[in-house]
Structure 1
C-alpha cells in the first residue's frame, strides 16, 4: 500500500501575462502583441525575449478569456453521420485543415446516424459558443433554428441542388449519377440495377433520380432497386439479394464506395468476377475505391473544394453575405470494375 501524504500538495501558481512581462523586462501589452501576433509589430529581439520567458514559466494564454474579450471562440464545430465512413473522414480532414490555416480549431462530433445524437451535438456546440458549424445531417432538411437564433453561421455539407435558407454546399448528384449509369450502358449492359442507401426523409435520393433518368434515356422504363444501410454491411447484404435474383443484372450502380466494398465481398464469395459477371460503378471517390480489388470505377466528389468553400462561408469573405447553395461538379473516375481497360487503372477521370 502506498502511503498518502498528510497534506495535499499546494496547487501550482497560475502564471499570468504580468509574470511573463516581468521576466522579459517588457510591458504586458508587448506580451499580448507577441502572443496574439499583433496588432502592433514587436522587434525580433524583443519577441525572442518574450518567447523565452513564456517557455521558462510555462505560460499558457487563457483562451476562454481571450475569446470572451474578442467575441470569438476561434472554434468551429462539425457533425458527421459516421466518422468511420472514409468519405466523411476525408471531408472532416479537409475542413479541419482549411480552418487551421486560418487560425481556427475544430471540434468533430459523430452523430452515429442518429437525429437525437446530432441535435445533442449541436446544442453542445451552442453551449461552447463556436463561431460556426458544419453539418452533414441525417436529414435532408435539418432544423438549425437554435444555431440561427444564437447567430452561429451554419453550413450544410454534402447537400446540394435545392435552394435553402442557410448555406448548403455539395456535389451535383443527379447529372453525375446519370453519367455514371450511362457509362455502364456504353459497355453494352441493358439491365443496370441500383443499390442505394435508405433515405431518412421522404425525399428521393438524387443519385436514384440520376439512375432513373439514365434508364429512361436508354429506353428502359424501370430497373431493380436494392435499398440498404450506407455502409459495407448494407452493400454486402444488398449484394446477396442481387445474387438471389433471376435473371441477375449485368451491372449495378451503388450510391457509396463503402456499400460497393461490401458488394464486392458478396460477389467474390459467390465465385463470380467483376466486371465479367457484374460490372460496378459507385459514388464518392474515396481512397478505399482506389485500393480495393478490382479498383472501383466511381464518381469522385471534389472534397477539398467543398471543404474550402464551407470554411470561407463561415470565417472567410462569405461570412457577411447572404446564405447560398453551391453545387460542385464531380468527376467520373474509370477503373476495372466497370469494364474499362487496364489503361484506366491509374484512375483516369472524365469530367
Structure 2
C-alpha cells in the first residue's frame, strides 16, 4: 500500500501530476477519474487515484478543466424575483434538469429591476457560461452581450399572444429573425379559461388585479381576461394595477375594499399577488368566495396552503424546465429559433367557489 502523507497548510498547491505519482498511474488516468471519462479506468486504478486525491487534498483547477473541455459546464439563470414561490419552483426544476446533464446552475435575481437585469446579463456573458435562461422584465430584452460572446439564451416564462389548446404549440423563426429560443405558456388562454370558470359560477362583474412589466407592454393575461368577459357579453369590472408581489396584492385588496361598488369576483395575475389580496380581504371582513371569489395565475406550491385554498391557473413547471434546457443545449441548425408554448391547467379549489 502507498504511504499517504498529511497535506500541510504550507505546502504548494497539489497538481494532477502529484496525484498521478502517488497513485502510480499516468496523469491522463487521473484526468479520466476526475472528469468521469472519456476513457474507462479500472476499478483498482480508480480506487488508488481517489485515495491519493483524498490524501493530498487535491482540487481540480476549474479554469483549466473548462479550457480543456471547451465548456464551463455552468449555466446561468436570471429571474425577476427569487423570493416568488413560482420562480423558486421553476429554478429548482431547471437546476435538476441541468444537473442530470452534468451542468451547474448559477441563479441571479434581478429584483424586478431592468437595470439590474442588464448588469446580470453582462456579468454572465463575461463569465462565459455555456448558456443563459432569462425570465426577463421585457418581452424583447437586449441580448447583444450574449450574442457577441456567442452564448445561447432561452427566454423562459416568456409571454406571447400565441394560443394553444390541449398540447404544446411551436412557432419556428428563420435565421436572423427572432434572436433566441423562448419557452412559455398560453397566458391568454389560461386567463380566459379562469374568467369563463368564474362566469360559470354566476358572476357577471369580474375585476382584474394586474401586474406590470418594465416595457409597459400589454400582458396576455389582461387580454385573456378581456376576451372571456367580451365573449360572454358582460361588462368588464374594475382593473387594479399592482406590483407582482404579496404587498402589491395586499394594496390591491385594500383598493377594492374602498370601492363603493365592488365586483363579485376577481382574476389576479399571480399567486403571490393573490396571497396578499386574501390577507387584505380577511382584514376587511369579506368572505371568500361568498363576498368576492378569487382566481389566480401560476400554480405555485403556496397556492395550496392559503385560506381558503387558492384556485389557480397552473403552469407545467417541470416541462418548461426540460424544454428550455433542450432548447439551450441543442440549438437548431442554420440559426433557426423557435417559440414553444405549453397549455395551462385550471386547478379548482375553494377560493372560486368550488369545493
Aligned partner of 2:227 among 200, 208, 213: 213
Are residue 197 (structure 1) and residue 211 (structure 2) matched?
Answer: yes
Once the two structures are superposed, the pairs formed by residues 117-266 of structure 1 within 5 Å of their partners are: 117-161=116-160, 164-266=178-280
8 Å contact from structure 1 (residues 160, 326) kept in 2: no
Instruction: Write the deviation string for residues 118-156 of structure 1: whole angstroms up to 9, x where unpaired.
Output: 111111111111000011111111000110121100000
8 Å contact from structure 1 (residues 256, 284) kept in 2: yes
Match of 1:33 in 2: 32
The structural deviation recorded for 1:45 is 1.3
Match of 2:314 in 1: 300
Instruction: Write the deviation string for residues 250-306 of structure 1: whole angstroms up to 9, x where unpaired.
Output: 000000001000100111001111001100000000011001110000000011111
Are residue 283 (structure 1) and residue 297 (structure 2) matched?
Answer: yes
The structural deviation recorded for 1:185 is 0.4
In structure 1, how many angstroms separate the alpha carbons of the residues matched to 2:144 and 2:201?
48
In structure 1, how many angstroms separate the alpha carbons of the residues matched to 2:332 and 2:92?
21
In structure 2, how many angstroms separate the alpha carbons of the residues matched to 1:237 and 1:202?
20
8 Å contact from structure 2 (residues 159, 220) kept in 1: no
User: Residues 27 and 238 (structure 1 numbering): CA distance in 2 closer, same or farther, change over 3 Å?
Assistant: same
8 Å contact from structure 1 (residues 253, 281) kept in 2: yes
User: Residues 340 and 130 (structure 1 numbering): CA distance in 2 closer, same or farther, change over 3 Å?
Assistant: same
The structural deviation recorded for 1:318 is 4.1
8 Å contact from structure 1 (residues 196, 225) kept in 2: yes
In structure 2, how many angstroms separate the alpha carbons of the residues matched to 1:223 and 1:324?
36
Match of 2:323 in 1: 309
The structural deviation recorded for 1:243 is 1.3
Match of 2:60 in 1: 61
Instruction: Write the deviation string for residues 204-229 of structure 1: whole angstroms up to 9, x where unpaired.
Output: 11000000000001102433110010
What runs of 5+ residues in structure 2 fail to find an aligned partner?
A: 1-7, 162-170, 172-177
Match of 1:345 in 2: none
8 Å contact from structure 1 (residues 160, 168) kept in 2: no
Instruction: Write the deviation string for residues 5-37 of structure 1: whole angstroms up to 9, x where unpaired.
Output: xxxx97431111111111111111111111111
Match of 1:115 in 2: 114
Which stretch shows the higher mean deviation, 169-178 or 153-162? 153-162
Match of 1:348 in 2: none
Match of 2:4 in 1: none
In structure 1, how many angstroms separate the alpha carbons of the residues matched to 2:140 and 2:311?
30
In structure 1, how many angstroms separate the alpha carbons of the residues matched to 2:230 and 2:55?
72
8 Å contact from structure 1 (residues 299, 333) kept in 2: yes
What runs of 5+ residues in structure 1 fail to find an aligned partner?
A: 1-8, 342-351
In structure 2, how many angstroms separate the alpha carbons of the residues matched to 1:176 and 1:101?
31
In structure 2, how many angstroms separate the alpha carbons of the residues matched to 1:58 and 1:280?
57
In structure 1, how many angstroms separate the alpha carbons of the residues matched to 2:60 and 2:87?
33
Aligned partner of 1:269 among 270, 279, 283: 283
Quote the RMSD (CA, aligned, Å).
1.5
